[in-house]
Amino acid sequence: MAFEQRKNIILSLIIALALIYVGRLFYLQVINKSYQISAENNVLRFVTKYPERGLIYDRNHKLLVFNKASYDLMVIPNKIKNLDTTALCNLVHFDKKEFIKQLKKAKKYSAYKPSVIIKLLDEEEFSALQDQLFRFHGFYLQRRLIRNYTDTIASHLLGYIGEVSEKQIQADPYYVQGDYVGISGVEKSYETELRGKKGVNIFQVDVHNRIKDRFANGKYDTLPEKGKDLTITIDKELQHYGEYLLHGKVGSIVAIEPATGEVLAFVSSPTYNPNMLINHNRSKYYRMLILDSLKPLFNRALMSKYPPGSTFKIANALVGQEEGILFPNTYYSCNYGYHAGGLTVGCHGHKSPLNLVESIQISCNAYYCNVFRNILEHNKKNESVELAFKTWRHYITSLGFGNKLGIDLPNESPGFIPTTKYFDKFYGRGHWNGLTVISMAIGQGEILATPLQLANFAAIIANKGYYKIPHVVKAIKDSSIDIRYQVNHYTNIKKQYFEVVTEGMYLVVNGGEGSTAHIAKIPGIDVCGKTGTAQNPHGKDHSIFMAFAPRQNPKIAIAVVVENGGYGATIAAPISRLMIEKYLNDSISQPYLEKYVLEKK
């Protein structure tokens, strides 16, 4: 009896397994045709249909980046007959040696399969070649869409595309050799949104790789899906004007809308023409840019780090108030600088003593040396200089310094705010104090900030204590921007302490004798600003200015850095003034100032 039961169980298992195999075979052969396609891969050609990349518009919906037809010259080596290499190269202005090199690579790859011999021919080159193509057996033209730019502006922000690398292919199976991908800027940050989705056409081919027919009448073909259009935050006209003002200079401009964190202008100078990186002369132009000593590919607005100079006095004024060692009626004297033992930090001549508002208006070095030293050494809240410094640094980083802000662009620099470990290593633990690092009182020494951080700092002051992460994409078609760009980030400084520094910044531009930036004054607009002069051990000092306007309900916060520009008021302040007036009034009331800026080298 037991034997019969075991026999029936085994028989049942065999029948069940047989049914499973039969069912699976039926599914593969009758229902699911994908395996048939895979099996026939050796007689099929899969032709990728590339999607149209998403368009890019400015905040006012003016087109900045679009797609235009380009053509790759393809070759099937075994079909070449009596090739006149010189004639072909002359038609498209292509280097003959490079052509021969590419042809050898194509032959090595396959005698029967097509290879790209010349990439990205433009319409003019296409027209010249198309009429003569019958003379060149084995060659044909393949259409593809490439990026094109309505203007030469905002190249560092928009970025460019280039051929995908082996590393990128290995990291993302979407890409294959010959695909194009965002290399920098928005093109890189929003690659997934912009690239769309590829389609495919499947053809039957003979043993010589010649197309015979559509496979299954196109049943398994798929259409490409267009990439998503982007609306970016910059104002095209303001961006254009900023690049115009910085032409011939080395530096950057960053302008932000304080309430939203949207970047209104993002200028890095010198710049480059993005349209030169989209044709078959790309490599030649790229090498020229790489070898340029002024580094036009380097994004100074995002990656350059400078001592912030006197603009940083505002940060120390805020920390001093929050820590209870500085008040509006706190006075310090200045005798052409700060003197302690054998150390002197020089200052320009001005009235003395000064209160807090006047110290900002006149930009007194001695005042902030006193403030900074008292924060570190005479602060009852902290037991040691090291603990006081950590507290100070905690406030400073909350103001957006020393860390990446998180802008939606690649390669952002964090700047630099030193730690106690840094000084312990440099001087030895217990062997440094407020006087040792006194240069940080006036934004010199070890402190480094990016132009983006300075513009964001101006936005924090305009907002009286908070900021939204700066970002350059305003909207994504059929999608939404990351929620983190819509959240308020509050500093560790109370709101009431910003009013005093705002008054000082207002007087920097609009005050009487001793104010450092009268040149930034705009009739009818209350501009609040602060000059900075960053010491440069390699040459003339850098000119820095940060500002926001109008004082009530600010619409723009800005930072300008001009390398080797001298004092903050010399060139950075007038550029800021012109940018603010252009944005708020759409006109310039004093054209001579624009002429002065353009002629200033």
Distance between CA atoms of 55 and 230, rounded to whole angstroms? 6
Q: Which helix (H) or strand (E) holds 93?
A: none
Q: Alpha-carbon distance 277 to 261, whole Å?
A: 30
Burial 64-95 (b: 16+ CB within 10 A, else e): bbbbeebbbbbbbbeebeeeeeeebbebbebe
- pLDDT, residue 468, reads 98
**H or E, element range at 284:** helix 282-291
> Residue 542 has which token pair?
């850098």
Exposed, middle or buried, 504 (CB in 10 Å: 0-12/13-18/19+)?
buried
Spatial distance between the Cα atoms of 30 and 36, rounded to a whole number of angstroms: 10
List, in order, residues 6 or more apart from 601 with CB less than 8 Å away. 248, 249
Quote the pLDDT of residue 431: 92
* pLDDT tens for each residue of 537-546: 778 899 999 9
Query: Burial of 441 by CB count in 10 Å (0-12 exposed, 13-18 middle, 19+ buried)?
Result: buried
Of residues 180 and 505, more confidently modeled = 505
**Mean of pLDDT values over 104-132:** 84
pLDDT at 179 over 90: no
Contact 360, 504 (CB under 8 A): yes
Q: Give the burial string for 8-24 (b: 16+ CB within 10 Å, else e).
A: eeeeeeeeeeeeeeeee
Domain ranges of the chain: 299-542+563-568
Which phi and psi (to 5°) does residue 299 adopt?
A: -85, 90
Alpha carbons 570 and 599: distance in angstroms, whole number: 12
545: buried, middle or exposed (CB in 10 Å: 19+, 13-18, 0-12)? buried
- pTM for the complete prediction? 0.87
Q: Is the pLDDT of residue 95 over 50?
A: yes
- Tens digit of pLDDT for each residue in 259-312? 999 999 999 999 999 888 876 677 888 899 999 999 999 999 999 999 999 999
- Predicted confidence band of residue 8 (pLDDT cuts 50, 70, 90): low
pLDDT of residue 547: 98
> What does the block give as tokens for 80?
């070449």
Nearest to 226 by CA among 186, 197, 191: 197
> Residue 531's beta-bridge partner residues?
545
Nearest Cα residue to 274 out of 64, 483, 470: 64
Task: For residue range 519-530, list pLDDT tens digits in order.
Answer: 999 999 999 999
Say yes or no to pLDDT of 207 above 80. Answer: no
Asked whether residue 399 carries a pLDDT value surpassing 60, the answer given is: yes
Q: What is the mean pLDDT of residues 537-561?
A: 95
Quote the CATH superfamily of domain 299-542+563-568.
DD-peptidase/beta-lactamase superfamily (3.40.710.10)
When pLDDT is averaged across residues 104-120 and rounded to a whole number, the result is 84
> ω before 537 within 30° of 0 (cis)?
no
Contact criterion met (CB below 8 Å) for 59 and 232? yes
Q: How confident is the model at residue 592 (pLDDT cuts 50, 70, 90)?
A: very high
CB 455 within 8 A of CB 255: yes
Query: pLDDT, tens digit, for every residue of 472-497?
Result: 999 999 999 999 999 999 999 999 99
CA 159 to chain centre: 8
Whether pLDDT at 39 is above 50:
no
